[in-house]
Amino acid sequence: MSVIMAVRWEEERYTDGVKWKFLEHKGPVFAPPYEPLPSNVKFYYDGRPMKLSLEAEEVATFFAKMLDHEYTTKDVFRKNFFKDWRKEMTSEEKAKITDLNKCDFSEMNEYFKAQSEARKAMTKQEKQKIKEENERLLLEYGYCVMDNHRERIANFRIEPPGLFRGRGDHPKMGMLKRRIRPEDIIVNCSKDSEHPKPPPGTKWKEVRHDNKVTWLVSWTENIQGAIKYIMLNPSSRIKGEKDWQKYETARRLKKCVDSLRAQYREDWKSKEMRIRQRAVALYFIDKLALRAGNEKEEGETADTVGCCSLRVEHLNLYPEKDGQEYVVEFDFLGKDSIRYYNKVPVEKRVFKNLQLFMENKQPEDDLFDRLNTTILNKHLQELMDGLTAKVFRTYNASITLQQQLKELTSAEENVSAKILSYNRANRAVAILCNHQRAPPKTFEKSMQNLQTKIDAKKEQLADAKRELKIRKYLPGGKEQLMKLEVQATDREENKQIALGTSKLNYLDPRISVAWCKKWGIPVEKIYNKTQREKFAWAIDMADEDFEF
């Protein structure tokens, strides 16, 4: 590590939860006020035009903007929306508008579509003006001073009002997410800083000076009653240091994971049910990189589970399947309602335990009825300081990347082939962590385009050969062709897999940096600008023989 950066990353380590000594910022940027519809754009009820009050009109526009989305046809969405919309209506409106099916938002919808077209068709100068305004806003509100550093803020804009969507089958979809006003805002900054000023004629809910937290601004959202925060960018000292710490914890797990595994295997035989359950759950978390699985309040969110909250209905046991013994089939919705489907052969003891846990239970009963995340994490804490369920995900992701890179990279490959290998290693991790994505809408098209390019290049090479200009044109051309073909392979393999999440959250960046240095790959090929900023600590720290 260089001396200068050692200072940057190691300065001012506070104790007892103190996160900073000085914090100054300009507060949040509020959503722009509602702009009423022009009088020629009408809402129709039961076929007749109807002028809405400003409040009711605003909420109606939220719905009108979404008309093309499938979810506006869903019962739950419509019911929730209508209920909340009615709350914004005057008593006259309420009396008249009693059936959402009689509401016609299509003219409003057309208007917004036209507006968005108009925005696209703006002249260069107009676009430039908007860009400059955004830059000005960023400069004024996008930075803060935390201790001795000017730091970028991650999200300085307050979320605008709209209709809540949620992910998966969310019981609250369609509800009104209300507008946040200065009176809802808690500002956090240091006493000796220049406090942010609320917009003229308004007041903050509170100005606080809590240096044991990292947030600058908070408010409570009305859908779940959860607190939302404005915090610093991942490039900031405070986030970087935390990130580094996270990977150091995972590396400590590496040192004791063998004995820990031996321990939970022993526990599969325990006399106590709770210990067996704990041990099997931990095995899943370790082997399959499952999330912890906190309990959730029923009816408040989509029905999703993690390891500790698995239910009997989420797995099938096969003493034998496809020529393998003791196969467990998992099928459940995890975080963000992403499906986890996997068939895994497990050890006989695990299998027998699972049979035991499922005995005399209904499909909707908890698989691990003597376990929850609190119990599990308490246990883990006793095994290693700072150990929690999610450390296993970080550890297994990072160690997998390191192993895969070792296995897949060959010295004689060129740079683009090496990058393909890197992406494949990254992909192995994404698959382990079940990081999926919807195939991009333009996927087929973009594959086609690439194929066209490849064909053209082949043609070009063939021409060159025919004209006996081999020596002159072939070497570079061949290289280019290979690059395109590698790119096509990479893209195809990536169709339904998202690499970003693991890259950003699970893979110790020092592994990647070390790999780049070892093979002479510019780090820019692996990390874009933002990622390099986020991982500045690692880029500076890791040399080519860094070992996770």
Query: Catalytic residue positions?
Result: 506
- Near DNA in 44-103, by CB under 7 A: none
Nearest to 457, CA basis, from 489, 480, 431: 480
Q: How many residues form the binding site for DNA (CB under 7 A)?
A: 82
Nearest to 473, CA basis, from 457, 484, 491: 457
Contact 28, 185 (CB under 8 A): yes
Nearest to 283, CA basis, from 328, 321, 252: 328
Q: How far apart are CB 505 and DNA at their closest, in Å?
A: 4
Question: What pairs with residue 50 in β-bridges?
Answer: 43
Residues 6+ away with beta carbon under 8 Å from 199: 30, 182
The stretch near DNA (CB under 7 A) out of 251-259, 353-361, 372-380, 460-468 is: 372-380
Q: How far apart are CB 448 and DNA at their closest, in Å?
A: 8
Residues 6+ away with beta carbon under 8 Å from 265: 279, 283, 349
DSSP state of 28: P
Nearer to DNA among residue 181 and residue 296 (C-beta): 296
Max CA distance (Å), the chain: 86
Nearer to DNA among residue 48 and residue 83 (C-beta): 83
Among 193, 222, 489, 501, binds DNA (CB under 7 A): 501
Q: From residue 240 to residue 279, what is the string marking binding to DNA with x (rule CB under 7 A)?
A: --xx--x---------------------------------
Position 202 contacts DNA (CB under 7 A): no
For residues 292, 298, 299, 305, the Cα torsion angle rounded to the nearest 10 degrees is 30
Among 61, 80, 190, 373, binds DNA (CB under 7 A): 373
Among 193, 270, 316, 377, binds DNA (CB under 7 A): 377
Torsions phi, psi for 261 (to 5 deg)? -70, -40
Across 273-361, the runs of DSSP E, i.e. the strands, are 315-321, 324-333, 339-345
Q: From residue 1 to residue 40, what is the string marking binding to DNA with x (rule CB under 7 A)?
A: ------------------x---------------------
The first and second tokens of residue 89, run together, are 């209506």
The first and second tokens of residue 168, run together, are 């998966």
Nearer to DNA among residue 97 and residue 282 (C-beta): 282
Cα separation, 105 vs 107, whole angstroms: 6
Q: How far apart are CB 460 and DNA at their closest, in Å?
A: 13
Among 344, 454, 498, 521, binds DNA (CB under 7 A): 498
Q: How many CA atoms lie within 13 A of 212 on its CB side?
A: 3
The first and second tokens of residue 49, run together, are 């035009």
The stretch near DNA (CB under 7 A) out of 46-54, 82-90, 387-395, 515-523 is: 387-395
Among 60, 230, 371, 391, binds DNA (CB under 7 A): 391
Beta-strand relationship, 227-230 and 217-220? antiparallel
The residue type found at 462 is A
- Near DNA in 163-192, by CB under 7 A: 164-168, 170, 177
Q: How far apart are CB 6 and DNA at their closest, in Å?
A: 21
Contact 146, 236 (CB under 8 A): yes
Among 193, 270, 316, 388, binds DNA (CB under 7 A): 388
Nearer to DNA among residue 93 and residue 396 (C-beta): 396
- Near DNA in 115-134, by CB under 7 A: 124, 127, 130-131
What's the start-to-end Cα distance of the chain, in Å? Answer: 16
Q: How far apart are CB 119 and DNA at their closest, in Å?
A: 7
Nearer to DNA among residue 416 and residue 531 (C-beta): 531
Question: What pairs with residue 344 in β-bridges?
Answer: 328
Position 302 contacts DNA (CB under 7 A): yes
Residue appearing with tokens 């991009």:
440
Q: How far apart are CB 412 and DNA at their closest, in Å?
A: 26
- Near DNA in 395-454, by CB under 7 A: 433-438, 442, 445-446, 449-450
The stretch near DNA (CB under 7 A) out of 153-161, 258-266, 273-281, 359-367 is: 153-161
Buried b (16+ CB within 10 A) or exposed e, 446-484: eeeebeeebeebeeebeebeeeeeeeeeeeebeebbebb
Q: How far apart are CB 469 and DNA at their closest, in Å?
A: 22
Among 26, 291, 311, 483, binds DNA (CB under 7 A): 291
Residue appearing with tokens 């044991």:
212
- Near DNA in 511-530, by CB under 7 A: 528-530
Q: What separation in angstroms does the CA of 310 have from each of 291, 314, 354, 365, 524?
A: 11, 6, 12, 9, 41
Q: How far apart are CB 542 and DNA at their closest, in Å?
A: 18
Nearer to DNA among residue 19 and residue 252 (C-beta): 19
Nearer to DNA among residue 126 and residue 325 (C-beta): 126
Q: From residue 208 to residue 237, what is the string marking binding to DNA with x (rule CB under 7 A)?
A: --x-xxxx--x-xx-xxxxx-x-x------
Position 381 contacts DNA (CB under 7 A): yes
Beta-strand relationship, 206-208 and 186-188? parallel
- Near DNA in 323-352, by CB under 7 A: 334-338
Nearer to DNA among residue 414 and residue 528 (C-beta): 528
Nearer to DNA among residue 114 and residue 130 (C-beta): 130
Among 61, 531, 542, 548, binds DNA (CB under 7 A): 531
Residues 6+ away with beta carbon under 8 Å from 289: 392, 393, 396, 397, 432, 433, 434
Nearer to DNA among residue 43 and residue 164 (C-beta): 164
Cα separation, 285 vs 268, whole angstroms: 15
Position 460 contacts DNA (CB under 7 A): no
